[in-house]
Structures are given as structure tokens and as C-alpha cells.
Amino acid sequence: MKIVVALGGNALQKEGVPATAEAQLEVIKYTSICLADMIEEGHQIVIVHGNGPQVGRIVMQNEYANKVTPAMPFDLCGAMSQGMIGYHIQQALRCELQKRGIDKSVTSVITQVVVDEDDEGFKNPTKPIGSFYTKEDAEKLIDEKGYNMKEDAGRGYRRVVASPEPKKIVEIDTIKKLFDDGQILVTVGGGGVPVVESGKNELEGVAAVIDKDFAAEKLAEDLNADVLMILTAVDKVAINFGKPNQINLDSMTMEEGEKYIRENQFASGSMLPKVKATMRFVSSKEGRKAIIASLDKAKEALNGKSGTVIKASDKRVLCSSVK
């Protein structure tokens, strides 16, 4: 099958471990084992990754060093994170494949994604980036730097930036050619570098982070993939999450997804975009499949032994909250 795999933060960084390049590479080495399992089964995969913590730290490094060297704009920081993470995935996955005798190239494509400059996301920043802070430290950053800070699913406060919808992947023709050639691609990293069309044949970077789940969904549609697989830190989508009556879902229909979204069952900074992206993909064309699962059980999820499968509705209508 042709599979677009979206990697969550746990695939790149381990909680409680210093955020060094060495530590990130070690985590990605384990992630590569999970990805290689799917490749070894004969699946053709394209890898999309998040970049929230990484781009946040790059921005911080730029700001703290601005007395020594000029700080780079936010869009360039996003491109830097694409290159850094893609490089680590290329190294680790290539090594794992060679151990298994699999002769395949792993290639990263620095990717721009067009957004609408009038997107509502610019009016209401929601995308978390960077580290977690206490309420007191968050208030200091608001006062001192003018950041937008919001509480993130009970885990602390994080800086939030605009998260506009992806409209077009600029390098899609190149991606398709490499994909058709059988290469394993790392692309649309961090949701892609957000750009707006500022004039005839001109693109201009903007300060935003596109949600990687929505960007992965757009990529999956463009590549006519069979499966969109979003890998995260939990085995299944759950309702009443963290409560005594929590229910883990083996599957979810479009109608059920709409109902749970209306009930605010999914946190906006974590599970909600994953659910919306998978519902959008399943709705886009008959026969498409979407799975939300844990990184550790990716292979099992593909074989129906773990994860949550998002199923098409009886009436194949793209529901309003999925748009």
C-alpha cells in the first residue's frame, strides 16, 4: 500500500531527556525501526513530521543570540527545522534499512506550502511551539516578549502561533516523481514552510506553523495514497480521555467523529487535528483508509491489531466540522 505516515512529537523527542541533537537522533533511531517494519512488509511510505518543539528552540536561539548575529525570520527557522529533522531521519532510517538488506534511498525535500494570507488562523493563533512553561513563566513571556501563550492539554503553557490551512504544496511535482521512482521521502516537515502568493510567480514566507496532520492529509490526497496513518503517543483515540469512564475506540465512523467533535471530546492542541485530518482524508475519495495509532504499534495497526480506524459514513458527505 501507499502510505503517508505523520509522526508525532514522541517520534522525535523523549520527555524528560535533554533536547540535544544527540538525544533526538537516538529517539529517531528507534522510530526508524518502526518505519522499517512497514517498509519491510512491502509498503511504500512517505514521512511527514512535526516540528513544534524544534522550531520553538531555533527561534529562542535566534532571539537570545541577536546581539551577536541577526535573528532569522520565523519561516527560515521552520526551514531549518525541516533540514535538521530530515537529516536525522535520513541517517537513522538508511542505517536501519541497510541492516535489513533493504536497498532504498531516503530523501528529504524542503517543502513550501501555500496558505491564504486572509486565513482565520492568523487572527486567532493556536499552534503550540517550543517548550512547556509554568503559568508564572508564561505570564513573564507575555509581558516581556509579547508572545501568545496558552495552556496545552493540562501539560503546561506553550507559545502559540498562527496555524493556517494548507492550500497547495509547492514542490508536489518533484515529490510525485521521487515517489513514483520508489524513493522513501521525508517531506512537508512541520507542515511545510508556510508561504503566501504575493505576486505573479512570487512566494513570501510568513510567521506561522501549519498543522502537520492537515498537511499530511493534503499530501496523501495529492499522492493518491491508500492510507493516511497518524502515529502518536497513545494506542487509540479515546473519548472521556483521562476520566474513569474513558473508552478507547477500535474504530470511528464519520457520524461518530462529528458527534465527538461537537461534544469537545478531543483537545484542540493534540487529538482534534488528528481526528479532523483523518476524517477529511476518508471523505475525500471512496476506498481510502485512515488510522490513528501509537508509534510502537504501527505495524500492528496496519494489520488491524491496534489503533483506531476511521471509517467512511454510509452517506459520503464531507461534514462541516471537517473542513
Residues recognised as catalytic: 9-10, 127, 212, 274
Separation of alpha carbons 258 and 275, rounded Å: 10
Which among 265, 268, 117 is positioned nearest to 202, based on CA atoms? 117
**2-13 burial, b if ≥16 CB within 10 A, otherwise e?**
ebbbbbbbbbbb
Is the alpha carbon torsion for 277, 280, 284, 287 positive or negative? positive
> Are the C-beta atoms of 302 and 38 separated by less than 8 Å?
yes
Residue type (1 letter), 222: D
CB atoms within 10 A of CB 234: 17
Separation between Cα atoms, residue 233 and residue 318, nearest integer Å: 28
Q: Name 207's Cβ contacts closer than 8 Å, sequence gap at least 6.
A: 73, 74, 75, 161, 162
Distance between CA atoms of residues 78 and 95, nearest Å: 26
Strand extents, DSSP E, the chain = 2-7, 44-49, 106-109, 112-114, 127-133, 149-151, 157-161, 168-169, 184-187, 193-199, 202-205, 227-232, 238-239, 247-248, 251-253, 289-294, 308-311
Place of cell 490551512: 165
Going from the C-alpha of 89 to that of each of 24, 51, 258, 269, the distances in angstroms are: 10, 13, 35, 25
Set of cell numbers at residue 42: 512491502
